[in-house]
Amino acid sequence: MAPPKHIQTDMPACTLDSSEVTEDSDDFFNMWTSHKDWQKNGYSDKTIDYGIRSNPHRRFVWNSHLLDTVEKNLHRDWLLYIIHGFIGQSNVSVFGRSMFITIIARRSNKYAGTRFLKRGANFNGDVANEVETEQIVHDSGVSSLNNGHFSSFVQLRGSVPAHWSQDVSKMVPKPTITIDLSDPYVETAGEHFNGLLKRYGSPTIILNLVKKREKKKHESTLSDGIYTSVKYLNQFLPPEYHIQYISFDMARKNKGKEANVMGRLANIANTAVLKTGIFLSLHPYYNKNQVSNIKKFHIFTKNKTLQTGVIRTNCVDCLDRTNTAQFVIGKCALGYQLHALGILNSSQLEFDTDCVRMLEELYEDHGDTLALQYGGSQLVHRIKTYRGESWLLQARMMIEHEWESKAPQAPETYTSAQPSSESKKANSPLVLYRAFYNQCINNALLSLSEKAESSSI
């Protein structure tokens, strides 16, 4: 429906203020763009929808049951659509240009509930803890809504689409995962993925972070189930529409001396984002050296590019590991967004930059909020856990090695001679051991920095 002629369109669209967002209670929001992602909300070749006048996706409207009874009798200006999830925004300056980066998470109202009470999926294919996360980049230097410079990327999280549960009646740290109902024809998973193909298009890319190998079968039950389901469903799909399955055991890869979870996730994210593409409200700017790569994943229309397909991430709870993976995917997408908007010459963003640190804080808040809603507590394993685990493990091993090789000599420094009254305090065993341990730490850190410099060269 086209807007009335008197409505002005030269207004900033992506800056969050009190006139656009109303926080009625914890994590419930009314926002003119929040109930429908930007890719479907503001841009169409035929008509332009403005905010509340567009048709919301009922899956993400949490007061639908209240509106159904009065919707036919009220003017649409009186209707407020409420979403449940998370909204966060940061302003970053890139070479003097102000860019707003917004994260909007919309929780599905289908099969909604808390952890342990809602697991897996129902017979309609609606999964537990389903959240659509949209990352919007807005160049605030262009204030026109019609001709604004926007980019958007949508990703999804959700429980493994099968009938499974965990018995919490027994006080154990990890309740046993039980398959409640056998589904030989994969009808539940079929309904779920059919819905994703209708909503987002192809390809549907599954990033499964559940453990694959265990001494006692636990998480791997789910991993085997989702792999079998995808393999069965792909028989009935044309090759170009096949569901793409990627398995990455984050917990296992995070152990050992050569742990590099973030680097491996970054490679997976880059491959996946190249397949789905990003949404852009204008014809993109690209470095000539990267045009061949970019053209592979962008669907060009008259004056914009579209994202087709979605990356669906899951672990067991879809909280800790999932949030870290979504941050890495968002970081990869942000590089392409800034590059396509003409802000950066390259689509590659390094982890240790102010822009990525800001994005990490946004996704940390995003993960904490969704974890509180579904599990009742904040994230346990944060993004920093996977970023720093490898470095901390190496440092600890090197410190222990230094200590074991030199610690036997330490007592000799204070037992070989009787200390005088003046130096008794300075040469006490506690002070000497502390100084020696600090020396071990410094030696280990120096060795690590030398290794890092040599590897970068």
Alpha-carbon dihedral 426, 427, 431, 436, rounded to 10 degrees: 130
State the Cα–Cα distance between residues 238 and 229, nearest whole angstrom: 16
Contact criterion met (CB below 8 Å) for 367 and 379: yes
Q: How many CB atoms lie within 10 A of CB 384?
A: 11
402 phi-psi bin (left φ>0, alpha ψ -120 to 50, beta other): alpha
Counting residues of the chain whose pLDDT is more than 70, the rounded percentage is 67
Residues ≥6 apart with Cβ < 8 Å to 50: 3, 7, 9, 32, 42
Pairing mode of beta strands 279-280, 204-208: unpaired
What per-residue confidence (pLDDT) applies to 289?
A: 53
Record the tokens describing residue 345, joined without a space: 């010459």
Q: What is the pLDDT of residues 367-422, one digit of tens each?
A: 999 999 998 887 877 788 777 644 454 555 555 555 555 554 444 443 444 555 55
What per-residue confidence (pLDDT) applies to 343?
A: 86
Contact criterion met (CB below 8 Å) for 81 and 52: yes
What predicted TM-score, i.e. pTM, was given to this entire model? 0.76
What per-residue confidence (pLDDT) applies to 40?
A: 61
Contact criterion met (CB below 8 Å) for 164 and 180: yes
State the Cα–Cα distance between residues 368 and 320, nearest whole angstrom: 9
What per-residue confidence (pLDDT) applies to 454?
A: 57
Residues ≥6 apart with Cβ < 8 Å to 108: 59, 60, 126, 130, 131, 132, 158
What per-residue confidence (pLDDT) applies to 389?
A: 45
State the Cα–Cα distance between residues 212 and 228, nearest whole angstrom: 13
Q: What is the pLDDT of residues 99-157, one digit of tens each?
A: 999 999 999 999 999 988 899 999 999 999 999 999 999 988 777 666 778 899 999 99
Contact criterion met (CB below 8 Å) for 204 and 309: yes
* Amino acid found at 380: V
What per-residue confidence (pLDDT) applies to 272?
A: 95
Q: How many CB atoms lie within 10 A of CB 276?
A: 24
Per-residue pLDDT of the chain (457 residues; tens, 9 = 90+): 343 333 333 333 444 544 345 555 566 777 554 555 656 655 555 555 544 456 788 999 999 989 988 988 888 888 889 999 999 999 988 878 889 999 999 999 999 999 888 999 999 999 999 999 999 999 887 776 667 788 999 999 999 999 999 888 877 778 889 999 999 999 999 999 999 999 999 999 999 999 888 788 888 899 999 999 999 999 999 999 999 999 998 877 777 666 788 889 999 999 999 999 999 887 766 555 554 455 455 555 556 788 999 999 999 988 889 999 999 999 999 999 998 888 888 888 888 888 999 999 999 999 999 999 998 887 877 788 777 644 454 555 555 555 555 554 444 443 444 555 555 455 555 455 556 666 766 776 677 666 655 555 5
What per-residue confidence (pLDDT) applies to 328?
A: 95
Residue 81 is inside which H or E element, if any? none
